Structure 1
Amino acid sequence: MDFRELHDGDRPLVLPNAWDFASGAALVQAGFPAIGTTSLGVAAAAGKTDATGDTREETIALARTLARLPVPVTVDIEGGFSDRAADVAGLAAELASFGIAGINLEDGRPDGTLAPLGHQTSVLAAVKRAAPGLFLNARTDTFWLGDPDRDETLRRVRAYAEAGADGVFVPGIVDDADIRAVLEAAGVPLNVLYLPGRTEYPRLARLGVHRVSTGSLPFRRALHAAVTAALAVTGEGGDRPALGYGDVQRLVSGR
């Protein structure tokens, strides 16, 4: 099935996020009709911190291998690894040439700010001109960075859709009223991040959400499972807490 069509089903598309070829292949074998990548997993596997724009080469290398899988693949390219629209558009075209079905492009910046709206819409438009066949999922971090801002979220999702985005992603959005408002404003498929105990799949389905991403959750739980399995050899491991996003960032940075 075409990747776009997967967003039009009776229930939201569950998009699990891989960090290497083996994790992607295992998710395909489990029956998922499409997979994405997790920037945290890709960065941490390379010994780097996430969201610093430092994993362009690793992202391209992974995309090239994941393109061998028999399902559509969408790639998280963070903020595009450049402030220049032409560079981001060139990257999108390169990924499309591998057979990648979509990309996730965010407006959050490493310093915790949002890219200026006009700049971000210019980047999105350039990407669509360079790779019109890619499903462009435009992420806004208006709920992810600092205090949630519904008005700014609605302004951005409208602008991103008008610039050519095929879908919008608002990680951190949880409340029914906020989700309904974004669905009405965007006019394109809405992607919500799965947060255990906060964004339950049945509720998102009832609200009309089109896509639910797992983000870094599978990667973080895989790390936890690996440590638990190793400690279980002696039977002295005990019950260790699961790793959060910040835990992995600190682990990689050595802090």
Structure 2
Amino acid sequence: MNKIQQFNQQHHSSDLLFLGNAWDLLSALTLEKAGFQAIGTTSWGIANSLGLKDGELIDFDQHLRIIKIITEHVSIPVSADIEAGYGEDTDTIVKNVLRTADIGVAGINIEDSLKKQRGLRDISQHARLLLEIRTALNQHGYKDFFINARTDTYFQKDNPLLETIERGKAYVESGASGFFVPGVILDSDIHGIATQVKAPLNVLSLPGLTNCNKLKTLGVRRFSFGNALSDKIIAVMENNAAQLLALKDTTHLYED
């Protein structure tokens, strides 16, 4: 079984897939050593590690090199967060997806947010893009490559549930393997989306939305924590650096 097949199977096993989000090789190796069965890169965390903000501000080649290093050094499947595809036209985005597949990842996250302005791609436009991506992947030998279609309705819409379900159905019909809805919190909304969109549902950890076992009962198949771990690590580094300078003492670096 190759990693693409393994990753697909992880979304349909009896257990919820708890995905560890990495931003560099050290974080990826640490997550693998801890026992995570798959890794998803976090574009936010990668951007922060380079002193940038999220939002496709990194050169795509540089972003891809980091993902490639991770993929080459872990034995578990890796899913690449490529934001909205790093392109303004379908051909560029499809080419970028194929380049990402070529480095050995088992899947991608691709979102429907616009990057140069607020808003989401039109539903039919994004569905056509997903169909083009799926077709190109199949033609290049990447059958069953996992396309996790992310919608940002819960970040950008006031009453997002019905549109989220509409988008989810359209995206799955166009070739998406899974449906990612970051920002959803209400149990009733999560259950409604999981019930009506016939693909594995991925939700994002947020304050108050943290427990894998509870999410599994609502129909969630994949749970990720995005940039939360990288933010936590950065905060620890900042606090320790400030303490070193304030105390002019390194004692606390050796304390348990």
Say yes or no: TM over 0.5.
Answer: yes
Query: For residue 233 of structure 2, what is the aligned residue in structure 1?
Result: 222
> 2:36 and 2:127 mapped to 1: Cα distance?
31
1:38 equivalent among 15, 34, 42 = 42
Query: For residue 120 of structure 1, what is the aligned residue in structure 2?
Result: 126
1:53 touches 1:81 (CA, 8 Å); kept in 2? no
1:184-223 equivalence runs, <5 A:
184-223=195-234
1:75 equivalent among 73, 80, 98 = 80
| TM-aligned CA deviation for residue 234 of structure 1 | 6.1
| TM-aligned CA deviation for residue 97 of structure 1 | 1.4
C-alpha offsets along residues 137-164 of structure 1, whole Å, 9 cap, x if unaligned? 0000000224241111011000000000
| TM-aligned CA deviation for residue 229 of structure 1 | 2.5
In the alignment, residue 126 of structure 1 is paired with which amino acid? E
> 1:28 and 1:124 mapped to 2: Cα distance?
30
Q: Given the alignment of the two structures, is residue 86 of structure 1 paired with residue 97 of structure 2, yes or no?
A: no
Secondary structure of the corresponding residue to residue 88 of structure 1: helix
> 2:14 and 2:247 mapped to 1: Cα distance?
47
| TM-aligned CA deviation for residue 202 of structure 1 | 2.3
Query: For residue 108 of structure 1, what is the aligned residue in structure 2?
Result: 113
**How high is the sequence identity, in percent, across the aligned residues?**
34
Secondary structure of the corresponding residue to residue 211 of structure 1: strand
Which protein is bigger by CA-based radius of gyration? 2
Secondary structure of the corresponding residue to residue 22 of structure 1: helix
C-alpha offsets along residues 152-200 of structure 1, whole Å, 9 cap, x if unaligned? 1011000000000000000011111111111122101000001132343
Which structure 1 segments of 5+ residues have no match? 238-255
| TM-aligned CA deviation for residue 7 of structure 1 | 1.0
1:20 touches 1:42 (CA, 8 Å); kept in 2? yes
TM-score by length of 1: 0.87
Query: For residue 104 of structure 2, what is the aligned residue in structure 1?
Result: 99
Detail structure 1 runs of 4+ shifted over 3 Å in the superposition. Answer: 52-55, 231-237
> 1:236 and 1:178 mapped to 2: Cα distance?
49
Alpha carbons of 1:212 and 1:236: their partners in 2 closer, same or farther (altered >3 Å)? farther
2:47 touches 2:54 (CA, 8 Å); kept in 1? yes
Bigger drift between 139-148 and 30-39 goes to 139-148
> Greater share of helix residues, 1 or 2?
2
1:194 touches 1:212 (CA, 8 Å); kept in 2? yes
TM-score by length of 2: 0.87
Aligned-residue CA RMSD (Å):
1.8
Which structure 2 segments of 5+ residues have no match? 249-256
Q: Given the alignment of the two structures, is residue 159 of structure 1 paired with residue 157 of structure 2, yes or no?
A: no
Query: For residue 22 of structure 1, what is the aligned residue in structure 2?
Result: 26
> 2:100 and 2:209 mapped to 1: Cα distance?
33
Query: For residue 11 of structure 2, what is the aligned residue in structure 1?
Result: 7
